[in-house]
Each structure stands twice: as structure tokens, then as C-alpha cells.
Amino acid sequence: MRVISGIKKGYRLKAPKGKDTRPTEDRIKESLFNILRDIDEESIVLDLFAGSGSIGIEFLSRGVNKVYFIDRSYLSIKTIKENLQHTHLEDKAKVIKSDSIKIIESLGSQNIKFNYIFIDPPYEKNLIMISLEKICNEGLLKKNGIIILEHEKELILGDEVWDFKKIDYRNYGDKSLTFYTYSD
């Protein structure tokens, strides 16, 4: 696993030990950022269920202003911090050990809004729908922001979910990426 582009291109990243995380493969990460294209340097990113932090670190390498990394696993938080130190990007990161669903309400009460929200929860749970509902209720996504979901291919998400509309969908073997923004 590595940073694929930007100022930290080529830096190797660690993954948490154990089977609780599924780091996003480099080919999926590369495709994700090709779809997003140009990233505004003023962007604020939320990496929910962050695991190794590789997606948030990729955003930072491409010049975003700040990334919030959220995970409830001690091993994941430790790995994220190590990866941030290794890439020298810790000054633009906020790492929070918390349940990803609970933190959404806390971020909403602080009136923090995100340009990009990446969600890759454990599979076989209803965490995607719960996350989307909470994000909608708390208004965490900026007006033209994008939510990116990484999930198992078998999970088919609707064209409209809460106040969000699907703007793209891609399959990669047994994984998929689904992109949402606010409905007009």
C-alpha cells in the first residue's frame, strides 16, 4: 500500500495488523481520484472508518486543507498516526478515536462541514445507510460536496438516498465505489 500521487507520491503506508480492516487497494484508490479529478486545496475531508488512513493521506498528499480520521480501533488509530508521521502530514490531520456513527453527531454540533466524506465501514452491517442518514440529518456535507462509499459489490444502493443523489458507481472485482452529492 502506497501514496499514489501528490507531494508524498511513493511513500509506503502500513496497514493495521489483523483481519478487521480491508485497506483500499491501490488500483481502486487510483480510480477513485481519477473520478474526482482536481481537488480544491481548501477542501476539508472526513475519513470515516479510516482503518490505515490511506484514503485521507492520499487527499492530504494531493493538497487538501485538512482531514479528519475517525476509527474506533486502537490499532487503526496507532497505524494512522504512524502513517501520518512517516509522510510528515500530521499538521493537517485530526485523528479521533471514536465510534464513526457517534462522531457524526459531535461534528454536526460543532458545525463542521466537509467537501468530501469517504465511508468504508465493516461489511455485512447496515453502517452505510446509518452513516448516510446521520450525515444528512447533521448537514455535514457542503453544498457541492461528494460522499464516496466503498462497499461490497452485492450491496446495491439507490439512486436517491435521504437528500443525496447517486452521481457515479464503479465495480472493482468484489468491491464497488458509489458517489453521492446533494439532490438539486
Please provide the DSSP assignment of 97-134 as one string: ES-HHHHHHHHHHTT--EEEEEE-PPSSSSHHHHHHHH
Nearest to 71 by CA among 102, 43, 92: 102
pLDDT the model gives residue 22:
63
Q: What is the pLDDT of residue 20?
A: 60
Local confidence band at 26 (pLDDT 50, 70, 90 cut-offs): confident
pLDDT in tens, 150-184: 999 999 899 999 999 999 999 999 999 999 999 87
Q: Which amino acid is at 30?
A: E
Residue type, 51: G
pLDDT digits (tens, 9 = 90+) for 68-93: 999 999 999 999 999 999 999 999 99
By residue count, the chain amounts to 184
Distance from C-alpha of 126 to C-alpha of 47, rounded to nearest angstrom: 18
Confidence (pLDDT) at 103: 95
pLDDT in tens, 126-158: 899 999 999 999 999 999 999 999 999 999 899
Percent of the chain with pLDDT over 90: 86
With 0.85 as the threshold, say if the pTM is over it: yes
Radius of gyration of the chain (CA): 15
